[in-house]
Amino acid sequence: MRVWFLSAGLALMCMAQNAAAGTVLIVGDSISAAFGLDTRQGWVSLLEQRLKAEGFDDKVVNASISGDTSAGGQARLPALLAAHKPDLVILELGGNDGLRGQPPTQLQQNLAAMIDSARASGAKVLLLGMQLPPNYGRRYTEAFSRVYSTLAEEKKVPLVPFFLKDIGGVPAMMQADGLHPSVAAQDKLLENVWPTLKPLL
């Protein structure tokens, strides 16, 4: 009888852990797709390792595509939400919008629509902010950066103000193209995200 109770207890513990396990969906561009690297070296892979090391059972789905824009992400999101039913959606988009000089107002509308769609599906949202190099002009770079802080305030979503903090513009942290984080930067990318991400799990 004692063995039965122990077995039943273990079974209930496993069921509880499985019930608590969720899905984290990352919708991003080349930074999260680990452009130029082995995907196993990217920050998303490191996130999976961190989750396991800290006892989280969450599944990570990386739906990031190099070159994607906020418009592309918005178009892809409904199918991703239906297929994966995530508990948390991490939005890492906008860099390509900025590099192509697209209107910040359009970026804001696209990201707002993605936040609303994710929440309507029952998911929490984490927004990863981006900034542009100063050569794009002060007026444009400031308007671009404000998109993320404005959305975070209006939509009441957690925000990592600058995903590439201490990485962008640092030669040792960037690949030869000057646009994509190097292998050395991947740990830092995760560290930039983790303090805001962990409480959402």
Q: Which residues are catalytic?
A: 30, 177, 180
Give the chain's radius of gyration (CA, Å): 19
Q: Which residue pairs, CB below 8 angstroms and at least 24 apart, start in 8-15?
A: none
Give CA–CA dist 59/78, Å, rounded.
Answer: 19
Question: Which residues are within 8 A (CB) of 117 and not within 5 positions of it... i.e. 6 or more apart?
Answer: 74, 77, 78, 81
**Residue whose structure tokens are 């499985």:** 18
What single string gives the DSSP state of each residue in 7-25? HHHHHHHHHHHHHH--EEE
Closest CA to 150 of 115, 121, 123, 101: 115
The DSSP 8-state label assigned to residue 101 in this structure reads T
Give CA–CA dist 123/89, Å, rounded.
Answer: 6
